[in-house]
A and B are shown apart, each in its own frame.
Chain A
């Protein structure tokens, strides 16, 4: 397979709750223009497009075709990707396959979400509609007060089972979720493309926010954001011709398991905090990247964390530390932007969540760290290899991408 590098990145000027000044296609085009401006490239340099966002969130069923002229895709192959929360990284993976296979040389990835124009909870409901219909017929109480299968309600309700299981089995406490959220809010304050920023956030200030569904507090939860991200990927030969530098994809993998949330109809059998797909995908991606000890070889990490406990949980599942150790790294300051294992220097998904972009931004943020272009949120240590992680599906699908500062050999 051929080497593939990320040679350009573009963002919308801001990621915020409501972009009322632009429509969906206009907003996407801002990131496309930003990427062209940053690279000096134009539509004629692009061979093919990959487009991604959450299915049903805006209720626009074919946004990749609707926005065709705004993403400069006229006359080019376009593929839409929708794998849930992982969409943005799956789109990067699709572009990688396009180029590594030799089919195309330069591919542009365009991902967006404009949550203010849709209804994300209705979109999420679409994940389990057939099951809910069957459960309603069988007497499930949707208010959650009685009966088998009584629901805890929405994404935060489902995730609280995961967080609670993680705390009980890792030895971490709710104060560590507070501390992790605070660290990421502070990092977000250094990132012009982050949404929820608080330079003065502390574990104590997060602990003062309301409990939504134990152990999840308001301060642990991601916002709903409007924004778009664009990246240009190229073969080694084209990268040398078109760009000054690149972040090279050394290994990638993805993995699913059985549905761990909502699948009451056929028996829920998986601990929502087990996250076996993360362990399997990370192992495979590290093997492909030739990484033997990620603890030593990975310089920074971007984790998909809609909820702050997930940063700690996934650090352990990814093999970046031992089980039950992540909260100790947090206490020791090692996860900070100037620490030994900087995590989510960007502020993470918990600070910015335009969902179609969220898993993609884990990759683009790792690329910026490798290229030394992250600006104020550039981590202190030198970054040679970086690990990005996407999570979503039915709480059981994970994508991994390992980036490096040099093309892969062999």
Chain B
């Protein structure tokens, strides 16, 4: 059997100069410094996006109503990973849920700690474990833990 090919290379991401509509992300990140999740609500259909878009993709209108959503929520789906991004086995399996926060329509990915893979289930209640020192980064929300 042929061995897997490995190509070593570097990727200079600074060469990409995409202009990205990220104001909703910026707004959410500044809220996370205060351990708050700030989304954006559509005034027409009521959908709450997190991080917010400034455009409702359902209604095709501009939206800009900042709204705080709960940092507790429900596991909508989940996976358990057994290898890292390079394919090396993990010491402990890693649980990654998609969580729908209370008062929010988005499903947010993250890591789930403090529960065995076999005990995780869809519908399970979880909450955010915030970092003690927060810097306005996605790392401020460290992971989810059972409610």
Interface of A is mostly: loop
Q: List 19 A-B contacts (CB under 8 A).
A: A133-B18, A135-B138, A139-B135, A145-B94, A146-B111, A147-B137, A147-B143, A152-B109, A161-B79, A164-B78, A214-B78, A215-B79, A216-B79, A264-B109, A265-B24, A267-B53, A269-B47, A271-B76, A271-B77
CB distance from A300 to the nearest CB of B (A): 31
Q: Does B105 contact A (CB under 8 A)?
A: yes
- Beyond A138-B25, A138-B138, 18 extra complex contacts between A and B, CB < 8 Å: A18-B2, A130-B16, A134-B22, A135-B138, A136-B13, A138-B137, A139-B135, A141-B138, A143-B85, A147-B140, A148-B110, A148-B138, A210-B82, A211-B82, A214-B79, A265-B24, A268-B108, A272-B77
**Chain A residues whose CB sits within 8 angstroms of the CB of B79 once the complex forms:** 152, 157, 160-161, 164, 213-216
B80–A151 CB distance below 8 A: no
Size bracket, chain B contacts: 35 or more
- A139 in complex: contacting residue of B51, B106, B137, CB < 8 Å: B137
Size bracket, chain A contacts: 35 or more
**Chain A residues whose CB sits within 8 angstroms of the CB of B140 once the complex forms:** 139, 147-148
A265–B20 CB distance below 8 A: yes
Q: Does A24 contact B (CB under 8 A)?
A: no
A148–B108 CB distance below 8 A: yes
Interface on A for B, CB 8 Å cutoff?
18, 119, 129-131, 133-136, 138-154, 157, 160-162, 164-165, 168-169, 210-216, 258, 264-273
Tell me the complex Cα distance, A141–B29, Å: 15
Question: Which partner residue on chain B sits nearest A158 by CB separation?
Answer: B79
A139–B139 CB distance below 8 A: yes
Produce 1/0 per residue, B47-72, CB < 8 A to A.
10111110001000000000000000
Tell me the complex Cα distance, A266–B51, Å: 6
**Chain A residues whose CB sits within 8 angstroms of the CB of B50 once the complex forms:** 267
A269–B20 CB distance below 8 A: no
CB distance from A266 to the nearest CB of B (A): 4
Q: Does B141 contact A (CB under 8 A)?
A: yes
Tell me the complex Cα distance, A354–B141, Å: 40
**Chain A residues whose CB sits within 8 angstroms of the CB of B84 once the complex forms:** 143-144
Interface on B for A, CB 8 Å cutoff?
2, 7, 13, 16, 18, 20-22, 24-25, 29, 32, 39, 47, 49-53, 57, 76-85, 94, 96, 98, 105-111, 117, 121-123, 135, 137-143
- B81 in complex: contacting residue of A139, A169, A213, A271, CB < 8 Å: A213
Tell me the complex Cα distance, A264–B139, Å: 14
Tell me the complex Cα distance, A145–B142, Å: 9
- Known contacts A149-B110, A258-B57, A269-B106; is-contact A264 B82 (Cβ 8 Å): no
**Chain B residues whose CB sits within 8 angstroms of the CB of A211 once the complex forms:** 80, 82
Tell me the complex Cα distance, A154–B87, Å: 11
CB distance from A261 to the nearest CB of B (A): 10
Question: Which partner residue on chain A sits nearest B106 by CB separation?
Answer: A267
Tell me the complex Cα distance, A139–B109, Å: 14
Tell me the complex Cα distance, A149–B98, Å: 9
**Most chain B beta-carbon neighbours within 10 Å: one of A138, A142, A150:** A150
A161–B98 CB distance below 8 A: yes
B142–A165 CB distance below 8 A: no
CB distance from B54 to the nearest CB of A (A): 9
**Chain B residues whose CB sits within 8 angstroms of the CB of A212 once the complex forms:** 82-83
B141–A144 CB distance below 8 A: no
**Chain A residues whose CB sits within 8 angstroms of the CB of B25 once the complex forms:** 134, 138, 265
Tell me the complex Cα distance, A151–B94, Å: 11
**Most chain B beta-carbon neighbours within 10 Å: one of A146, A152, A211, A267:** A267
CB distance from A153 to the nearest CB of B (A): 5
Tell me the complex Cα distance, A153–B143, Å: 17
B96–A165 CB distance below 8 A: no
**Chain B residues whose CB sits within 8 angstroms of the CB of A210 once the complex forms:** 82
